[in-house]
Structure 1
Amino acid sequence: MKTPPIVSASAWEDARQELLVQEKELTRARDAMAAARRRMPWFEVEKEYSFDTPHGRRSLLDLFEGRRQLIVYRAFFEPGVHGWPDHACPGCSFVTADQVGHVAHLNARNTTLTLASRAPLADIERLKARMGWRMPWVTILDDFDADFGVDEWHGTNAFIREGDRVFRTYFINERGDEALGSTFSYLDMTALGRQEHWEDSPEGYPQTSAYSWWKWHDSYTDTRPVEWWSTEAAEDEGEKVSVQAAAEHGDCCH
């Protein structure tokens, strides 16, 4: 193994500052991509789909759990998939299930996340208990996977609803799934984004001050639709840093 050169502290800091320029460019490019996703056209889902859930058979609309947005990751756990019946696909288990952050933070942004597989619900619940996974996970009962590009390979679909009308807004698969798992990575693929003031979003989209909605995951007591998160409520929380600084540095600890 040929290692990089060993340098002084000042030379190391110079090298880091040089690389930081590229990192900032990458961050801004990622923000621009998320902004473009928020301007993607929507496709209305008119076909009815059914899923087996711990609460009985439910529709795609039901999976929203009353929230505005829904993210569905197609996890391969079923007969014929490597690991069955003790495990789900190693890739799905590693890249998605093991990396999912606490879903309460997504719920606070009016967004529901669920995994979907073809395994019977009893097997899904058994697997979740074995692996310590707590995210929602349902059984596909029809052509949902084939219709949304995830019958032969994993992928993540984002949806939004207007009343009882459901729309597909974005789709990520292959290596794109590797970057998902954190709250912000999921929000960045949705039609509404993080819903913070610094974002470049279309006029009228719900937005609040950066950091104002963050809580410990066991402290959320109200995850009603995002319209409830008013500017006044955000201002009551008080901003410790400017919105621009929040977007640039992501630092709320000082």
Structure 2
Amino acid sequence: MKLPPIVSAQEWEAARQELRVKEKEVTRAHDALAAQRRRMPRMEVEKAYSFEGPDGPVKLVELFEGRRQLIVYRFFFEPGVTGWPERGCPGCSLMADQVAHLAHLNARDTAYARVSRAPQPDIERLKARMGWDVPWYTLTDGFDADFGVEQWHGTNAFLREGKRATRGRAPSTRGSPRFGRTRAPRRRTCDRSGGSGHRGHSSRGRFGPAASGAAGSVARDGGGRVAGDRRAASAPGRLE
């Protein structure tokens, strides 16, 4: 990668001030878009969608866990996905690693859940292996097709009014990674070599060909970091 030139302190400050003007323009545009997003009309969910949870069948409204809002992420872990049944979709797995402790969402009256086609025993096994402690349900009907996440991962947001659920904004597949912040610090750096796509990054680590797929297997990604069973690499006490 060709790096930016080295300049004097005066030239560097002039370039920084020029960039700040553009950054402020982007910030204002982002704020305006966020306001428009909040004003987007809702769509009532008319079908009685059903999911399989660790304790049996549940309806969509039960995924709210009594809260007002619900975020549902479509995670590809099922027959036909590369790595099945030992691993899930690499991009989905990278996203899953970035979900913070749900107490922060729950405190804002928001629930979070993942849905996949995998049976519950496989989901529970993957959760235990990777150290993911979030609600995760099995799809049993056409929910994914009806909400635009049948062919690719994605996130849908819902609002609950009593026993009625309505659909709010549904981020595009390009918008979903904004829920994760792993790459955010790198957007502030000069050198972004070493991989930029979430699938490419993950394929060099525990989800790619270098990993054997068995719990506890270890491989090294392009940056030399150890990857394998997440429990071996996680900081003590970290929750997802």
Same fold (TM over 0.5): yes
Alpha-carbon distance in 2 for matches of 1:2, 1:70: 44
Say if 2:32 is the partner of 1:18: no
Q: Which residue of 1 aligns with 2:53?
A: 53
Decide whether aligned partners of structure 1 residues 10 and 128 sit closer, same or farther in structure 2, where only a CA change above 3 A counts. farther
**Local SS of the residue matching 2:48:** coil
Alpha-carbon distance in 2 for matches of 1:115, 1:42: 21
Q: Which residue of 1 aligns with 2:65?
A: 65
Q: Can you give the 5+ residue segments of structure 2 that lack an aligned partner in the other structure?
A: 182-236
Q: Can you give the 5+ residue segments of structure 1 that lack an aligned partner in the other structure?
A: 183-217, 219-254
Letter in 2 for 1:98: D
Letter in 2 for 1:4: P
Report the Cα offset of residue 156 of structure 1: 0.6
Written as runs of structure 1 = structure 2, the 5 A alignment for 1:142-161 is 142-161=141-160
Written as runs of structure 1 = structure 2, the 5 A alignment for 1:181-220 is 181=180
Alpha-carbon distance in 1 for matches of 2:102, 2:47: 27
Q: Which residue of 2 aligns with 1:131?
A: 130
Decide whether aligned partners of structure 1 residues 13 and 102 sit closer, same or farther in structure 2, where only a CA change above 3 A counts. farther
- Kept in 2, the 8 Å contact 1:51–1:58? The answer is yes
Q: Which residue of 1 aligns with 2:31?
A: 31
When normalised by structure 2's length, the TM-score is: 0.72
Report the Cα offset of residue 54 of structure 1: 2.4
Report the Cα offset of residue 150 of structure 1: 0.8
Across the two proteins, how many residue pairs are aligned to each other? 182
**Local SS of the residue matching 1:173:** coil
Decide whether aligned partners of structure 1 residues 15 and 43 sit closer, same or farther in structure 2, where only a CA change above 3 A counts. same
**Local SS of the residue matching 2:44:** strand
Letter in 1 for 2:64: F
Alpha-carbon distance in 1 for matches of 2:168, 2:46: 14
Alpha-carbon distance in 1 for matches of 2:5, 2:34: 37
**Local SS of the residue matching 2:32:** helix
- Kept in 2, the 8 Å contact 1:155–1:174? The answer is yes
**Local SS of the residue matching 1:170:** coil
- Kept in 2, the 8 Å contact 1:71–1:157? The answer is yes
**Local SS of the residue matching 2:72:** strand
Letter in 2 for 1:160: L
Letter in 2 for 1:84: W
Report the Cα offset of residue 2 of structure 1: 2.9
**Local SS of the residue matching 2:138:** strand
Q: Which residue of 2 aligns with 1:112?
A: 111
Report the Cα offset of residue 11 of structure 1: 2.6
Q: Which residue of 1 aligns with 2:88?
A: 88
- Kept in 2, the 8 Å contact 1:154–1:173? The answer is no
Q: Which residue of 2 aligns with 1:98?
A: 97
Written as runs of structure 1 = structure 2, the 5 A alignment for 1:162-173 is 162-173=161-172
